[in-house]
């Protein structure tokens, strides 16, 4: 461990030429100073002045230094005349003020420059700002999300360096202090050194106690709030913790001190302002409005003493045929290429919103495919009993198709049943009634069933409720098990005929289509808030019209090829190779079927628990560029680009990955006029919407392949990408 802390700073009296500060926590020999001086000057330019700083009672005077002939000679050889360039200072242990060795206090601007420059030097060298990459971000103790945060404990490594930082805390230490509260124990070392340096207390030195940061605002903590207490907060980007404490507790303003801060409100007390060092690089947002979450960036929680796990690694995933599991194969063997798996459709006419993953349950029922049809009939026979008094049928053709199967089984007995829609359900009329059957075509979250279950608590205690569901689209088994637990409490039954886990697309989820719409909307010439002078080329204009019309065309999910032809699946689809579809069925495949398949595969990989998928903790796993060579049908490539989370396509995390992906893109663009480049527009659009990202230098290569012989839609997007480069340098 070093005996000194050295750094350069801009002396206010020396113009642009920097001076050297050497700080010693205790008295040292002159040869130590000589070695420190030599080590610094050998790496840096000759300083304007040299400041030797130590604490009162242990500081060297200029006279002592000049009397040492050996030191004077070495100082002269490294810097110049010691009488002109050497400054000896000491720190007042009680106030933290800096004085010349003759007892004169140094000017305030010089003192501020020295203390602040030393802090910034440590902040830089020890990484006081923790920065994520494009694959993960942080949730702070306040609950806000960010890609960077200040970590005070990173600076508290060396005792001599911490002693230097403690100088700035000394003005806040008082003789009457009995206790100091810290928001994290990691800064206790700094506080304890400040206590030790101050030394002059009315009674015993104050105790140091850690509280649970932001948790203290919601939980009871036994603060002693009189003048004998001081609160030290490690770091902040907004002052919200200090504000919460001042609002909730009876501390005065000067009793709550924040160490490292930016954007500190004027009515709060701070020690180290790192705003000039960080600038605008550090921004936070609420969890509900987090751009990083929207991109699928993984979340690392900062809690307690702000311990962070190992730095996230970057890995590539090659998607293989065996990632398409048996459950997925069974599902698509029954319903693939049968106009069942659709996209962007409303479940019923009564619904305002559309389902991103829509299952045409009525079509599935009418097909009569096994084992789905057998499971449906078996469960109707099992659960439609003599005790059944009421059947509640949800809106939509899917529930109605299952309902017709139930009616067919009941025959004339259906006249004895009360048939209701969910909005017709009144608890008073069902008071004490016999068993109930609830029929639903498909569920995405199960919230509608939970709402019905609450209304049905009034039925006879001996009666049962059976929830008969055609398809469950819950995102994973855990979500389904929780729903099942909630609905079957009390001996009731949840019967799901078929499970197909898909990603949960909520109202505020930004899909690839939303990103595209946001870019194209202002460019159509009919948006008064847009650019009325810019006209979209043919294919992009058509795509804009489809997006504005909220099209549900199962063959219109993706941009066409360079000839304006829809992307179609070739006969060799790796994931369907075991399904044994005949030519007639393969001819009915639409883009929605392929999109469902790729989404299903990626979703299973994200849910994988064996660290071999896309969900490895604290690791950034990207879809390998090799996948776009392995699966070179344009429609499959488009599905990968649309199905992947942006973070899974952000190759900026590694220059090698970015190079590999750029080579793929360049190859596709070069082959825009043949089958190998049929997804060229999709790749360019993915870059334009920034769902797919490569390094700036590689983006320049992509822009550089612009050719006047290309279709105007490709040229249009490439020109937009060139704007990215000019904006970002």
- The whole-number pLDDT of residue 309 equals 47
Quickly state the pLDDT bin for 220 (edges 50, 70, 90).
confident
On the 0-12 / 13-18 / 19+ scale of CB atoms within 10 A, 376 is buried
Average pLDDT over residues 255-266: 92
Which of 239, 242, 308, 231 lies closest to 273 in space, CA to CA?
239
Which of 463, 452, 387 lies closest to 424 in space, CA to CA?
452
- The whole-number pLDDT of residue 347 equals 84
Task: State which H helix or E strand residue 175 sits in.
Answer: none
* pLDDT-wise least confident of 21-35, 116-130, 210-224, 250-264: 210-224
pLDDT at 666 over 80: yes
Share of the chain above pLDDT 90, in %: 59
- The whole-number pLDDT of residue 535 equals 85
- The whole-number pLDDT of residue 430 equals 84
DSSP assigned state of 8: E
- The whole-number pLDDT of residue 443 equals 96
- The whole-number pLDDT of residue 532 equals 58
Q: What is the rounded average pLDDT for all residues in the chain?
A: 89
- The whole-number pLDDT of residue 527 equals 58
pLDDT at 624 over 60: yes
* pLDDT-wise least confident of 301-305, 395-399, 539-543, 544-548: 301-305
Average pLDDT over residues 584-604: 95
Quickly state the pLDDT bin for 307 (edges 50, 70, 90).
very low
**Cα gap 695→596, rounded to integer Å:** 30
User: In 3-state terms, what secondary structure has residue 278?
Assistant: helix
Quickly state the pLDDT bin for 44 (edges 50, 70, 90).
confident
Average pLDDT over residues 117-129: 92
Quickly state the pLDDT bin for 529 (edges 50, 70, 90).
low
Share of the chain above pLDDT 70, in %: 94
**Cα gap 683→408, rounded to integer Å:** 51
pLDDT at 538 over 50: yes
Higher pLDDT, 435 or 611: 435
- The whole-number pLDDT of residue 528 equals 57
Quickly state the pLDDT bin for 589 (edges 50, 70, 90).
very high
- The whole-number pLDDT of residue 306 equals 47
Average pLDDT over residues 344-362: 88
Asked whether 665 and 683 are in contact (CB, 8 A), the reply is: yes
- Give the tens place of pLDDT for each residue, 424-447: 988 888 888 899 999 999 999 999
Average pLDDT over residues 352-364: 92
Average pLDDT over residues 125-133: 84
pLDDT at 3 over 90: no
pLDDT at 726 over 60: no
- The whole-number pLDDT of residue 253 equals 93
Average pLDDT over residues 383-408: 93
Q: Output the CA torsion sign for 215, 217, 222, 226.
A: positive
pLDDT at 164 over 50: yes
**Cα gap 655→675, rounded to integer Å:** 29
**Cα gap 389→381, rounded to integer Å:** 15
pLDDT at 310 over 60: no
Average pLDDT over residues 413-423: 89
**Cα gap 601→576, rounded to integer Å:** 12
Quickly state the pLDDT bin for 352 (edges 50, 70, 90).
confident
β-bridge partners, 235: 260
């Amino acid at each position: 461990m070093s005996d000194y802390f050295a750094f350069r700073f801009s002396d206010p009296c020396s113009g642009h030429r920097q001076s050297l500060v050497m700080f010693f926590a205790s008295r040292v020999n002159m040869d130590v100073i000589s070695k420190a001086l030599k080590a610094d000057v050998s790496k840096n330019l000759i300083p304007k002045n040299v400041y030797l700083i130590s604490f009162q009672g242990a500081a060297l005077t200029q006279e002592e230094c000049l009397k040492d002939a050996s030191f004077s000679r070495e100082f002269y050889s490294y810097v110049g005349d010691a009488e002109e360039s050497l400054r000896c200072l000491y720190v007042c242990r009680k106030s933290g003020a800096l004085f010349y060795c003759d007892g004169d206090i140094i000017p305030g601007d010089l003192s501020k420059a020295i203390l602040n420059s030393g802090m910034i030097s440590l902040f830089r060298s020890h990484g006081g700002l923790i920065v994520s990459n494009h694959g993960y971000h942080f949730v702070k103790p306040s609950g806000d999300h960010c890609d960077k945060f200040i970590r005070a404990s990173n600076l508290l490594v060396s005792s001599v360096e911490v002693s230097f930082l403690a100088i700035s805390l000394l003005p806040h230490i008082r003789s009457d202090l009995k206790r100091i509260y810290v928001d994290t124990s990691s800064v206790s070392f700094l506080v304890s050194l400040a206590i030790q340096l101050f030394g002059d207390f009315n009674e015993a030195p104050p105790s140091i106690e850690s509280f649970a940061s932001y948790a203290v605002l919601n939980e009871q903590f036994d603060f002693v709030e009189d003048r004998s207490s001081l609160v030290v907060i490690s770091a902040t980007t907004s002052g919200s913790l200090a504000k919460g404490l001042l609002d909730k507790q009876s501390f005065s303003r000067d009793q709550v001190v924040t160490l490292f801060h930016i954007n500190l409100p004027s009515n709060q007390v701070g020690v180290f302002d790192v705003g000039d060092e960080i600038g605008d690089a550090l921004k936070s947002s609420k969890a509900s409005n987090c751009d990083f979450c929207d991109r699928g960036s993984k979340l690392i929680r900062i809690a307690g003493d702000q311990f962070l796990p190992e730095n996230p690694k970057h890995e590539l995933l090659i998607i293989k045929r065996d990632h398409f599991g048996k459950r997925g194969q069974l599902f698509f063997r029954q319903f693939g290429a049968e106009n069942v798996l659709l996209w962007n459709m409303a479940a019923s006419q009564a619904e305002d919103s559309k389902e991103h993953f829509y299952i045409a349950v009525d079509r599935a029922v009418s097909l009569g495919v096994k084992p789905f049809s057998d499971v449906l009939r078996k469960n109707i026979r099992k659960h439609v009993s003599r005790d059944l008094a009421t059947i509640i049928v949800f809106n939509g053709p899917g529930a109605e198709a299952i309902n017709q199967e139930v009616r067919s089984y009941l025959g004339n007995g259906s006249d004895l049943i009360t048939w209701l829609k969910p909005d017709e359900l009144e608890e008073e009329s069902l008071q004490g009634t016999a068993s109930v059957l609830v029929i639903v075509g498909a569920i995405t979250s199960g919230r509608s069933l939970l709402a019905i279950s609450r209304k049905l608590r009034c039925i006879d205690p001996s009666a049962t409720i059976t929830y008969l569901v055609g398809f469950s689209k819950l995102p994973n088994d855990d979500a389904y098990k929780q729903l099942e637990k909630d609905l079957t409490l009390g001996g009731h039954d949840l019967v799901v005929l078929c499970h197909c886990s898909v990603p949960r697309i909520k109202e505020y989820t930004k899909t690839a289509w939303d990103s595209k719409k946001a870019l194209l909307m202002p460019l159509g010439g009919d948006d008064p808030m847009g650019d009325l002078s810019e006209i979209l080329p043919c294919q992009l204009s058509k795509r804009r019209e489809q997006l504005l019309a909220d099209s549900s065309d199962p063959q219109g999910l993706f941009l066409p090829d360079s000839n304006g032809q829809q992307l179609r699946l070739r006969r060799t689809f790796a994931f369907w190779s075991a399904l044994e579809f005949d030519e007639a069925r393969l001819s009915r495949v639409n883009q929605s079927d392929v999109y469902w398949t790729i989404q299903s595969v990626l979703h299973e990989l994200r849910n994988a628990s064996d660290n071999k998928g896309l969900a490895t903790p604290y690791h950034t796993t990207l879809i390998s560029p090799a996948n776009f060579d392995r699966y070179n049908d344009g429609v499959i490539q488009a599905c990968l680009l649309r199905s992947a989370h942006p973070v899974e396509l952000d190759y900026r995390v590694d220059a090698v990955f970015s190079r590999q992906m750029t080579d793929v893109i360049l190859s596709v663009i070069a082959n825009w006029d043949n089958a190998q480049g049929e997804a060229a527009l999709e790749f360019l659009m993915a870059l334009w919407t920034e769902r797919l990202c490569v390094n700036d230098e590689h983006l320049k290569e992509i822009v550089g392949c612009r050719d006047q012989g290309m279709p105007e839609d490709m040229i249009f997007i490439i020109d937009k990408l060139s704007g990215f480069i000019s904006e970002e340098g």
